[in-house]
Structure 1
Amino acid sequence: MSLMWATRGRRWGFRFLETAGHADPLPAYDAAFGAVGDERRACSRAGDVVALRFPDPLGRRDQAGREIPHEFVVTGELAARVHTVDDGIAVVWPLVAERYAAVWDAEP
């Protein structure tokens, strides 16, 4: 599984919680999301890379009241199973939900 994941928490700004093994994940992230735009829900495929964005499935918001988006760059076998945002929520979210629950309210 190759998964890159950027999000923010209740009191901390955007950061990568998974880097898919990249020392600097930003170039791969930018390449995947370059054509996606600002839509709050997005699923865009370029070859075997999927850029996936959706709001927090439990409706969590940061301390300023902003919706928390989860942004993933998915490749490999996992990407083959993601064709829509709903697929992404069903396939990818269960892989990270517990981890996010443990860190979203952490101090910055």
Structure 2
Amino acid sequence: MSLIWATRGRTWGFRFLLKGGFEDPLPEYDAAFSGAGDDPEICHRAGARVALRFPDPQGRKDAAGRVIPHEFVVSGPLTEQIATVEDGFRVIWGRPEVAGEFERIWQSPEPPPAHG
């Protein structure tokens, strides 16, 4: 499984927290979200990948008062379990490297380095 995760924190801007094993995840991210639209909730299949977007489940907001979005590009076997935003949330958000990590870092003044 490959998991790319882009989000922002309370004071730091949008960035990749998980890179899905790519040195530069941006091309994969752009390809997956191409044509997906700008809705706050998205589940978009792009070839062998699923682009997934949903607002922070706890309603956390950044310093400007905007709800924090979480955007994922999922590839590998987990894509078979994701057909809707709800599926994606259930499959991805509960992973320890996602929900627990965001709880730990979202209020940090500096973003953590991307990994994975």
Question: Which stretches of structure 1, 4 residues or more, deviate above 3 A after TM superposition?
Answer: none
* RMSD between superposed Cα atoms in Å: 0.7
Give 3-state SS (helix, strand or coil) of 2:101's partner.
helix
Pair 1:51-2:59 in alignment: no
Aligned to 2:113: none
Residues 38-93 of structure 1, C-alpha deviation per residue, up to 9 Å, x if partnerless? Answer: 11000000222000000000100001100100000000011111110000111100
The within-5 A match list for 1:65-80 is 65-80=65-80
TM-score with structure 1 setting the length: 0.97
Gaps of 5+ in 1: none
Aligned to 2:5: 5
Instruction: Tell me, in whole angstroms, the C-alpha distance in 1 between the residues paired with 2:38 and 2:46.
Output: 18
| Paired residue total | 108
Instruction: Tell me, in whole angstroms, the C-alpha distance in 2 between the residues paired with 1:78 and 1:101.
Output: 23
Same amino acid, percent of matched pairs: 58
Gaps of 5+ in 2: 111-116
Instruction: Tell me, in whole angstroms, the C-alpha distance in 1 between the residues paired with 2:19 and 2:60.
Output: 23
Aligned to 1:99: 101
